[in-house]
Structure 1
Amino acid sequence: MELQQIRYVLAVAETNSFTRAAERCLVVQSALSHQIARLERELGARLFDRTSRMVRLTPAGEAFLPAARQCLDAAERAVAEVAAAAGEVRGRLTVGVIPTVAAIDVPATLDGFRRKYPNVRVGLRVCASEDLVEQIKDGTVDVAFLGLPATARPQGVRSRELAHDRLVAVVAPGHPLAGEPHVDLHRLSSEVFVDFPAGTAGRIQSDQAFAAAGLGREVAFEVTAADFMAQLVRQGLGIAMLPSAYTPQLTGVITVQVSDAPARVEHLAWSRFSLTPAASAFLAAVGAPAELLAERHSSEERQE
């Protein structure tokens, strides 16, 4: 079994097409198909069901993928560690962020990191905090910026607090609340809300605050993107509650202070286990050197 064969299998699995996989891998389709067929003979099982219109994984192919990804990740990690020993940071870095991250300028940070470490392939994922925590655990995300209620902490990962904030009400310019200096949750409870999906960290902080005050509210619009949330608010379809540090990015809406608003804490999170050289360099770049060094040392001791 060769690493290139594994790369070909993953490319076909991700594109559902031998043609697109060959284009991604910069090889002719016949060569890619030949190598996958060789691998299937070696394994004694077909990895893909092929028809004229569809390519899909067989049960054997589904079973093969997790270990195949781990194998490629380990190979890339080995190369990166050798380079790091020689003083060069390379490899892959995947950063996760929540839609309302405000404690750090993510685009500027990624740009500065890429300029300093041009041999690192940088990727970005925008997800809810709870999804990013799971992706850190399974190794698909290296470092993430999270936003959680003040009563919660990231579980199963290493983290440090970056910033504390409170939510504000976000309303359309013509809304009756637009001219108010401040409001409270009781007044807001009579409004129709635009909010994040139920069960997400971005939603829970508001739900908990209204519940603690013995209040209910109507969430008519559930969306995953804060900028789309602002579009709905601008149309007068509802109001929203968003972190005060994030709302200056929005246009065409008015923010109102909430006297008993829920608090939100932004966290920087990373794996409890060993870090890649690229992840270590990124953590140092965003100001987590003490935690980073302690974690990297303890991880190496555990592996020994």
Structure 2
Amino acid sequence: MELRQLEYFVAVVEEASFTKAAARLHVAQPGVSAQIRRLERKLGQELLDRSGRLVRVTEVGAAVLPYARAALAAITDTRLVVDELTGLVRGHVAVGMVPSCGGFSLPALLAGFHEEHPSVEITLSEANSEELVHSLRAGRLDAAFIALSGGDVPVGLATHVMVDEPLVATVSPGDPLATRGTITLDDIRDRALISLPPGTGMRKSLDAACAEAGLTPRISFEAGNPGILAELASRGLGVAILPQSLVRSHPARLCAIPFSYPELRGQVALGWRVDGPVSPAARAFVDRVRSTTRQPDTVGAGTV
């Protein structure tokens, strides 16, 4: 029985898919299937039910799963102890990011960390905040740049705010609202709104503010890329809700109108797990990012 066979088995169970498990492990799918078949032959029992669209664990597989996880955790802990005692920073750091990760240079942060720790492999993936939070809690990510709503930090995570700025109503220069100094949510009650999709921090801020004001936002356009939202607004297709810094970078094409009440704010923060083993490489990455700003860390008591 080999450790990689246990690792592949756990990954397939967690992903409910050979394809997704192979992508997560950065190996070819046939290799994953072959290794798990060898594990099943050694144990004399099938661990996975492959008959449906999703791969499911069998009764025997469910009994084996906690022992497989414990074995992998023991190996990880052993490596962590050795690295701690020798002062080595090596291994792998899995980082996540939201699409609207603006206000600072993530490539510069990653490049700076790589220069300091060339033996550490860094991987980067993109998803919305809800998905990133789930991946952090599940241990699939070591750290992630997530969008927060109203300072609401997810349970089980600690965060370090990187960007905190107003969200503004954004229109084309010819829009009737373009000459306004400030507006309220009621002023755009009947307007077509352009917003990030549900599961994002900015959308949660908008939805929460509208709920408090007793109105239902009329979302006509959704896109995960803030640049697309800005382009839609510049062409007069509606009112986009965007970070103030993004709008100010296009002064000839976009007009930003602050909300007088309630104030909408957008935050991007680095998040990491409070509990559970954290590798020296992951800790080194978090420490480097935290050193770039003087904001205090926050431990989560809310949800995303």
- 2:108 counterpart residue number: 108
Distance of aligned partners of 1:9 and 1:176 in 2 relative to their CA distance in 1, 3 Å threshold: same
Give me the whole-angstrom Cα distance separating, in 2, the residues matched to 1:127 and 1:34: 30
- 1:138 counterpart residue number: 138
- 1:280 counterpart residue number: 283
User: What is the 5 A alignment of 1:1-304?
Assistant: 1-7=1-7, 9=9, 16=18, 25=27, 35-47=35-47, 57-60=55-58, 63=62, 68=68, 71-72=71-72, 75-76=75-76, 78-150=78-150, 152-198=152-198, 200-248=200-248, 253-260=253-260, 261-273=263-275, 274-287=277-290
Distance of aligned partners of 1:65 and 1:255 in 2 relative to their CA distance in 1, 3 Å threshold: farther
Letter in 2 for 1:276: S
Letter in 2 for 1:208: A
Alpha carbons 1:79, 1:91 under 8 Å: kept: no
Q: CA deviation at 1:109?
A: 0.5
Gaps of 5+ in 2: 300-304
- 2:302 counterpart residue number: none
Distance of aligned partners of 1:119 and 1:137 in 2 relative to their CA distance in 1, 3 Å threshold: same
Q: CA deviation at 1:47?
A: 4.1
Letter in 1 for 2:96: G
Distance of aligned partners of 1:233 and 1:44 in 2 relative to their CA distance in 1, 3 Å threshold: farther
Bigger drift between 276-285 and 232-241 goes to 232-241
For the residue of structure 1 that corresponds to 2:42, the secondary structure is helix
For the residue of structure 1 that corresponds to 2:208, the secondary structure is helix
Q: Map Cα deviations across residues 53-97 of structure 1 (whole Å, 9 max, x no partner).
A: x99735339746786567546535533542343232111211222
Distance of aligned partners of 1:62 and 1:229 in 2 relative to their CA distance in 1, 3 Å threshold: farther
Q: Map Cα deviations across residues 13-47 of structure 1 (whole Å, 9 max, x no partner).
A: 87747xx89xx6589x6x87764433112233224
For the residue of structure 2 that corresponds to 1:140, the secondary structure is coil
Give me the whole-angstrom Cα distance separating, in 1, the residues matched to 2:118 and 2:135: 25
Q: CA deviation at 1:281?
A: 0.1
Q: CA deviation at 1:151?
A: 5.3
Distance of aligned partners of 1:137 and 1:171 in 2 relative to their CA distance in 1, 3 Å threshold: same
% same residue: 33
Q: Which has the higher contact order (CA 8 A, sep 6+)?
A: 2
Bigger drift between 149-158 and 139-148 goes to 149-158
Q: CA deviation at 1:286?
A: 1.3
Q: CA deviation at 1:136?
A: 1.6
TM-score, normalisation: structure 2: 0.75
Distance of aligned partners of 1:80 and 1:253 in 2 relative to their CA distance in 1, 3 Å threshold: farther
Q: CA deviation at 1:9?
A: 4.8
Distance of aligned partners of 1:25 and 1:206 in 2 relative to their CA distance in 1, 3 Å threshold: closer
Distance of aligned partners of 1:71 and 1:243 in 2 relative to their CA distance in 1, 3 Å threshold: farther
Gaps of 5+ in 1: 296-304
Q: CA deviation at 1:156?
A: 2.0
Distance of aligned partners of 1:198 and 1:11 in 2 relative to their CA distance in 1, 3 Å threshold: closer
